[in-house]
Amino acid sequence: MKLIQANDNNAFEILYSRYRIPVHSYLSGLVNSNTADTIVEELLQETFIKVITKNSTFKYESKVKTWIWTIAKNTLHDYWRSVDHRISQSLDSLHSEESGEELYASPLDSQEDLFLSKVTKQQLDACIKELPEDQREIVFLHIQSELSNQEISELTGASVGAIKSTLFRCKEKLTACFKRGGHL
Amino acid sequence: MKTNNTFYSWIALKTQTEPSSTADKKILAFSSQYFKKEEKSFFALWKLTGAFALTAAVVLVVLINKNSSIQPGSALMSEAPEMILHYNDIELMADASRLSDADWARINGQK
């Protein structure tokens, strides 16, 4: 980070290569729109442009990854505020860009794995979209950011206990949804 | 049932998406341009500061040299000659210049 603050572009490229996929996956999991791909790419660009231009505001009071995820989260929330995404969410819940029934390859080391291996992308997307937005955000922060529950708690304002119980409840909801075949 | 971590690792793997090469290029092009510009402005500021410091140093050296070449008395003589007229010695000399030969003879002890 010190190198980035000293205008070292190579240092930024290393940072970008480290976070490009997790941040894109996080945004992608939380943006529901007919033009989700375009919007996610725009939000990704906005996030990293803020990382570049606001690098001097990083004061080493937190970890770099916490700072980056804070920027990504705020960028997403700004987008949510800028559009009436709740309307589009309800419309898009009926829409799936993936029409294929491609099966995910999963390690078949148990009956549970066998069950999950039969979950299609369409079912997975539909089940994830079924989760309430605040819970979905916690799930995607948990799975993509590599932040601890304590760090997610600081980022979202929810208690560590609430985060743990949210993750547990979401797992139950998703599993139940998979068993229903992804039907809403 | 899988543990939370294994379950969510599976979800993470399945929901992982990658930015397009266009997005990558745009972001990296922006960073390259931004940091180059910042570097330039940093050096420009550094050069400006350096030039200012150099000018200040030259002016200071010139002033010091100028002051050291001025004699303390010369400033007094050139700037306040009228004050000197009030010095007792000068007054005495001025008076002495008006003494007659007889006065001088008396001063020199000639009777």
pLDDT digits (tens, 9 = 90+) for B21-69: 999 999 999 988 888 877 666 666 777 777 788 888 888 888 888 776 6
Per the CB < 8 A criterion, the answer to whether A153 and A70 are in contact is: no
**pLDDT mean across residues, chain A:** 80
Give residue A63's identity as a one-letter amino acid code.
Answer: K
**Interface of chain B toward chain A, CB-CB under 8 angstroms:** 1-2, 4, 7-12, 14-20, 22-24, 26-28, 30-32, 34-36, 38-39, 42
Flag whether pLDDT at A23 surpasses 90: yes
- Partners of B7 on chain A (C-beta within 8 Å) are 171, 175
Distance from CA of A8 to the nearest CA of B (A): 7
Give the gap in angstroms from C-alpha A4 to the nearest C-alpha of chain B.
Answer: 9
Partner-chain contact B30 A112, CB within 8 Å: no
Query: Would you call B62 helix, strand, or coil by DSSP?
Result: helix
Give the closest of B16, B22, B30 to A25, CB-based. Answer: B16
Closest B-chain CA to A14: B28
Q: What percentage of chain A has pLDDT greater than the value 90?
A: 33
Residues of B in contact with A103 (CB under 8 A): none
Nearest CA in chain A to B15: A25
Which pTM does this prediction carry? 0.63
Find the angle CA(B20)-CA(B26)-CA(B28) to the nearest 5 degrees: 100
Give per-residue pLDDT as tens, B11-20.
888 888 999 9
Average pLDDT over residues B85-95: 56
Confidence of residue A56 (pLDDT cuts 50, 70, 90): confident
Sign of CA dihedral A60, A62, A63, A69: negative
Burial environment of residue A19 by CB neighbours within 10 A (0 to 12, 13 to 18, 19 or more): buried
Contact A121, A104 (CB under 8 A): yes
> Chain B contact for A115, CB < 8 A?
no
Instruction: Answer yes or no: is pLDDT of B82 > 70.
Output: no
Question: A128 vs B15: CB contact, 8 Å cut-off?
Answer: yes
Contact A175 B20 (CB under 8 A): no
pLDDT band at residue B70 using 50, 70 and 90 as cut-offs: low
Query: What is residue B110's predicted lDDT score, i.e. its pLDDT?
Result: 65
Residue numbers in B near A116 (CB within 8 A): 2, 10
Chain B residue nearest residue A119, CA to CA: B14
Cβ–Cβ under 8 Å, residues A138 and A156 = yes
pLDDT digits (tens, 9 = 90+) for A101-115: 333 434 445 666 667
Cβ contacts (< 8 Å) between B28 and chain A: which residues? 13, 16
Give the burial class of A41: count Cβ atoms within 10 A of its Cβ; 0-12 exposed, 13-18 middle, 19 or more buried: buried
Query: What pLDDT sits at residue A89?
Result: 52
Mean pLDDT of B87-106: 68
